[in-house]
Structure 1
Amino acid sequence: MTTGQLQQAPRFAARRRRPLPSIVWVSVALAAIAAIGVPGFASSGNLADIGSQIAMLVVIAMPMTLVILSEGLDLSAGAVLSLGGVVFAQALAAGAGIVPALLVAAAVGTLAGGLNGTLIAQLRLPPFVVTLAMLGIARGMALVLTDGNAVVVATPALSHLYAMTVLGMPFPIVCALAAWAVTYVLLYHTKFGTYVFAIGGNRDALTLAGVKAKVFHVAIYALSGLFAGLAALLLVGRMNAAEPNAAIGIEFDAIAAVVLGGTSFERGDGWLTGTVLGVVTIGMLRNALNLLGVESSLQVVSVGVLVLLVILVDSLRKSRFLGAHA
């Protein structure tokens, strides 16, 4: 098989001739139920809050989709984001501007992601083990750098940037849209995207076509780390401070969003728009539970239950669909 043949393969093969993921109907149903049963949920102010609250999760979930499409996993995203936030805040405290500080955080994230990818692609180590180890390393480094304390940011420019609007949209939502747009173009309109699907779906064909699959595999994890580093802007901007454990656990919501959106852990089967719907659904669920006064630990339980239910329903629907077309 040649690279030309790979490029001619449908980029949207993951969605071809199959029913829409259940997350489409779940998100609509959840929005309707919350709007009716949760006071204040449907207000314009609360909907804007949901958008701002899920912005950082969108930034993390976009490259997570590519990681899972390549039959991988990144458990270190939250810890790398926390480390990036600490580095970003400390750079600001040392007198650096927002852009130089963010570049440092992005470099730290890219290095962590690139190391993950190198160990996974070059040494063929299990993604679960490698990224779990990186979670511990990044979290430990964040604690060492801060002595376990928060790094307060007294930079008015950061507060102004986070609070600004662009064409009527809050800055965090603009960042989320940018992350989606970049990932969409990469996945569906570049050779890199073709290779992402091939790494998860038919790695042997990619290798036989003369493509250096390992290089692109490393790049997928480096991209995940880069996005985590860049998300430090939203993390620190929201709190005007950086805490070493601030983003621990966001990787759970990101993985859940990808799975809810219909992306499979095998065969390079997935849908980027489904991930966005997964993020929105998790955001709506958590927001509604917050308004109802449900504690955070039970919110995590609810997200886990939602993932299991959607996976079960999708599995049953796919089985019936395949049976009907056998």
Structure 2
Amino acid sequence: MSISTPTASTSTHSFPGLRVNVRDFGTVVGLLLIFAVFAFIAPGFLSERNLMNVLLQSSINACVALGMTLVIISGGIDLSVGPTAALSAVLSAALMVAGVPPAIAIVAGLALGAVCGFINGALVAFGGLQPFIVTLGTLSTYRALALISTGGNPILGVPAGFRAVANGYFFGIPASVTVVIVVALIAFILLRKTPFGEYLLAVGGNEEAAHIAGVPIALTKIGAYVLSGVLAALAALILIGRLGAAEPILGNLWELDAIAAAAIGGASLMGGKGSISGTLLGAIILGAMRNGLTLLNVQAFYQLLATGLIILFAMLVDRATRGRS
């Protein structure tokens, strides 16, 4: 079935032999400016070791933000990604500590993330509830389940074998960065080259028109939330591989970072628009900003302030862009 959908990202301008995405180009310029500023005021920012740290710090947020982008494109929002990650993390860690093979524990954690996403999507699609309200409720529910199941205590002793793989390198690239690259490629193909991607854009752009065109609205929304839950769980597995432990409070404010990365990258909270490459750039911008502020010994709550201001600025830019379209 062929349907008319909004584009996956913002407006483009065509030149002979060249197609330029204005929003992604602006995001790249913003990233370069941030790097230039911190290179000037923060000694060591451009060192190879620190740039690798920026990528490592950005990888977890990028993984979560890619799932968030798909949900936002469909016209929804997922505030429960942090608690979903925590619940998946404590399950996988508990299984590994109990002697279950890491491969099985990983699958179990990802499956739990999918279940959490399915619950969110089903409540939105079949319950007729607003995504904000649904995921605000499951944010508390999933966090409570993580705390109750662990008694509020961290799960220690994640096997060294799992940690070695999680902290390893593939062709000189950190494993977590490699995972995010693979996930981003899959997400790009899913969004741009499959009917599901068309459905996401159609539902987020105009749900009534999509329904008339025969788009499976409920399944599309559920699919987006399931992918968001799986990617939140995957991010949690990356983190417990680094830390060697899983805490029930893991993932605090991950939803804010993920929304910020998606918004910076061109996703519209009105739905129907988003960019996989833009989200990756957005995650790197946030990672670089926080890394640079840390090098300058700026306190963490000022970093949170900066994230909030970036979200507001991105929304103003999106509104201005839509006003001209």
Place the TM-score, normalised by the shorter chain, in its bin. over 0.9
Match of 1:79 in 2: 83
Partner residue of 1:31 out of 23, 28, 35: 35
* CA–CA distance in structure 2, aligned partners of residues 12 and 137 of structure 1: 32
Q: Is the 8 A contact 1:109 1:226 kept in 2?
A: yes
Cα gap change, 1:211 to 1:317, in 2 (>3 Å): closer
Question: By how many angstroms is 1:122 displaced?
Answer: 1.1
Between 145-154 and 108-117, report the one with greater CA deviation.
145-154
Q: Please tell me whether residue 285 in structure 1 is matched to residue 289 in structure 2.
A: yes
Shift of 1:20: 2.6
The residue correspondences of 1:215-294 to structure 2 (distance < 5 A) are 215-294=219-298
Task: Read off the aligned partner of 1:20 and give its amino acid letter.
Answer: R
Q: 2:22 aligned with 1:19, yes or no?
A: yes
Q: Provide the TM-score with structure 1 as the length reference.
A: 0.92
2:60 maps to a residue whose letter is M
Determine if the alignment matches structure 1 residue 168 to structure 2 residue 164: no
The answer to whether the 8 Å contact 1:11/1:194 transfers is no
Query: In the TM superposition, what whole-angstrom CA distance separates every residue of 1:178-206 from its partner, at most 9, and x where no partner exists?
Result: 11111111111111000000010122232
| Greater displacement, 133-142 / 301-310 | 301-310
**Matches of 1:131 and 1:113 in 2, distance apart?**
10
Q: Does 1:4 align with 2:2?
A: yes
Give the alignment of 1:1-326 within 5 angstroms.
3-6=1-4, 11-12=7-8, 14-17=10-13, 19-20=22-23, 22-313=26-317, 315-316=319-320, 319=323
Deviates more, 1:21-30 or 1:282-291: 21-30
Contact 1:64 / 1:254 at 8 angstroms: preserved in 2?
yes
Give the superposition deviation at 1:208.
Answer: 2.1
Q: 1:317 to 1:207 in 2, by over 3 A?
A: closer
SS in 1 for 2:22: coil
Identify the residue that residue 16 of structure 2 maps to in structure 1: none
226-235 vs 213-222, which moves further: 226-235
1:208-233 deviations in Å (ceiling 9; x for gaps) = 23232211111110111111122222
Native 8 Å contact 1:77 1:225 kept in 2: yes
* Contact 2:23-2:265 within 8 A present in 1 as well: no
- CA RMSD of superposed structures (Å): 1.8
2:292 is aligned with what amino acid?
A
Question: Kindly tell me: are residues 83 and 200 of structure 1, through their superposed partners in 2, closer, same or farther at Cα, counting changes over 3 Å?
Answer: same
SS at match of 1:88: helix
Runs of 4+ in structure 1 over 4 Å off = 9-13, 313-319
* Structure 1 spans left out of the alignment, 5+ residues: none
CA change 1:113–1:12 in 2 (3 A) is closer
Counterpart code for 2:161: A
Asked if 2 retains the 8 angstrom alpha-carbon contact of 1:262 and 1:275, the reply is: yes
| Gap runs ≥5 in structure 2 | 14-20
Cα gap change, 1:203/1:313 in structure 2, threshold over 3 Å: closer, same or farther?
closer
The answer to whether the 8 A contact 1:15-1:271 is kept is no
Distance in 1 between residues matched to 2:172 and 2:104, nearest whole Å: 27
Query: Structure 1, residues 300-323: CA drift from partner, whole Å, max 9, x if none?
Result: 11111223234435545665x55x
Q: Are the aligned partners of 1:69 and 1:267 in contact in 2 as well (CA < 8 Å)? A: yes
